[in-house]
């Protein structure tokens, strides 16, 4: 069972890590969900100024609330378009989260000019800080959650101090009661607590996402990533008129290693092959374990350049033998590769996999340890 210190240590490590492709994909979907939710809530929140007016609230407070909601409604469609576009914008979650928090602060500032007590004691408007922080959980990014919580804490505290510093007399209102230091401190504590809880929810979600999308033996993305992420990459390349090459890689004679040396040595051989290959790959060249000793590699290269890239990888692995254990004779590992190109061979993941698999079979029939990028004949 992990202790609190272990959890905090893991959390600190997660903050230092750069999000992987799986988390980035989940975060992009979460940002789109938040954008849709924001647009829907903006329409719903239009009813709050109306209810305030019907309940006999001051017209200026109603107008301040209406101004904030209209601003959210207009800009929410901007965020929705940005989140829904195919281009991934790394800055969008942080900026849109800052927008959500700052709109709440803007409404409170407008209320401060009308009724300073309302700016500090308005439960409905202030509670929107909590909504903004909770919404960051859908973005699956620890940094964004902590940033939103810190920004809400800073802005609400500044509003409180500014109102108190500029007040001409006691901050008391028949509608909102008396402004007390205790209540304001309680709100600050509540913001901190909500930020901590939301951060832990995001942290747990990230860990579960990594577990479900990562192969436990090699640390590579697994078939979940293959079936969810790669179709989007292929569709995006097709829409933009870009070229992609998909390689189906098979470790030659792997069953012989398992039979002769045992499955533990086979696992070490797999990890060795993955380590050697990944050292030569860039971050934007995802390698996926499709199952067993078979891997998928996606390259943003035309077929000729991709063939040269795979040839270099094949020679690199061949030049670094696998040592089963200390003192044992090194075993040379080789790969056979089938290569397919989009749009030359197919326009979707299924078509690319079928063509790459056909060429992988050709590579094996031709003697293994080679890259095949064309059909026979």
pLDDT of residue 28: 66
Three-state secondary-structure class, residue 122 = coil
Q: What is the DSSP letter of 136?
A: G
Intra-chain end-to-end CA distance of the chain, in Å: 60
pLDDT < 70: residue spans in the chain? 1-8, 11, 13-16, 18-29, 86-88, 377
244-251/294-299 β-pairing? antiparallel
Q: 231 vs 18, 157, 281, 347, 352, CA distance in Å? A: 23, 46, 21, 10, 10
Do residues 218 and 176 make contact, with C-beta atoms less than 8 angstroms apart?
no
Quote the pTM value.
Answer: 0.67
pLDDT of residue 270: 93
pLDDT of residue 33: 79
Q: Which residues of 182-206 are buried (b: 16+ CB within 10 A; e: fewer)?
A: eebeebeeebeebbeebbeebbebb
pLDDT of residue 244: 92
CA angle 316, 318, 323 (to 5 degrees): 110
pLDDT in tens, 184-214: 999 999 999 999 999 999 888 888 777 777 8
- Residue 374: strand pairing partners: none
3-class SS shares of the chain: helix, strand, coil, % to 5: 65, 10, 25
Q: How many CA atoms lie within 13 A of 18 on its CB side?
A: 3
Q: 316 vs 249, 293, 320, CA distance in Å? A: 14, 18, 7
Those residues with Cβ within 8 angstroms of residue 295's Cβ, 6 or more apart along the chain or in another chain? 220, 248, 249, 250, 274, 277, 287, 288, 289
Give me 363's structure tokens. 């590579």
Do residues 196 and 134 make contact, with C-beta atoms less than 8 angstroms apart?
no
Give the closest residue to 195 by CA, choosing from 139, 99, 131. Answer: 131
Distance CA 228, CA 205 (A): 18
Question: Domains, the chain, ranges and CATH?
Answer: 4-213 (no CATH), 223-372 (3.30.70.270)
């Amino acid at each position: 069972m992990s202790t609190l210190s272990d959890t905090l240590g893991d959390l600190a490590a997660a903050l230092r890590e750069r999000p992987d492709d799986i988390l980035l994909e989940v975060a992009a979907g979460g940002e789109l969900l938040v954008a849709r939710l924001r647009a829907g809530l903006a329409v719903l929140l239009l009813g709050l100024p109306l209810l305030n007016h019907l309940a006999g609230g001051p017209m200026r407070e109603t107008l301040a609330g209406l101004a904030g909601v209209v601003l959210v409604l207009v800009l929410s469609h901007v965020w929705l378009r940005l989140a829904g576009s195919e281009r991934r914008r790394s800055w969008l979650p942080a900026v849109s989260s800052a927008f959500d928090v700052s709109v709440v602060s803007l409404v409170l500032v407008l209320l401060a000019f009308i009724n300073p007590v309302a700016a500090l004691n308005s439960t409905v408007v202030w509670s929107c800080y909590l909504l903004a922080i909770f919404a960051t959980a859908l973005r699956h990014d620890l940094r964004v959650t902590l940033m939103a919580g810190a920004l809400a804490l800073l802005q609400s505290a500044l509003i409180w101090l500014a109102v108190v510093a500029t007040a001409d007399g006691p901050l008391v209102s028949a509608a909102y009661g008396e402004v007390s230091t205790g209540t304001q401190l309680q709100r600050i504590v509540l913001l901190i607590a909500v930020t901590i809880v939301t951060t832990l929810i995001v942290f747990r979600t990230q860990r579960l996402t990594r577990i479900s999308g990562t192969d436990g033996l090699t640390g590579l993305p697994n078939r979940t990533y293959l079936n969810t992420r790669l179709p989007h990459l292929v569709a995006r390349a097709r829409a933009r008129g870009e070229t992609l090459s998909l390689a189906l890689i098979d470790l030659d004679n792997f069953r012989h290693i398992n039979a002769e040396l045992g499955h533990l040595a086979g696992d070490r051989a797999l990890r060795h092959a993955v380590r050697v290959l990944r050292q030569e790959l860039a971050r934007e060249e995802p390698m996926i374990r499709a199952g067993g000793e078979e891997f998928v590699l996606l390259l943003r290269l035309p077929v000729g350049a991709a063939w040269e890239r795979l040839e270099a990888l094949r020679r690199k692995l061949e030049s670094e033998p696998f040592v089963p254990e200390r003192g044992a004779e090194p075993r040379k590992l080789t790969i056979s590769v089938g290569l397919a190109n989009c749009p030359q061979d197919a326009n979707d993941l299924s078509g690319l996999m079928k063509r790459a698999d056909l060429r992988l079979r050709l590579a094996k029939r031709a003697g293994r340890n080679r890259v095949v990028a064309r059909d026979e004949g």
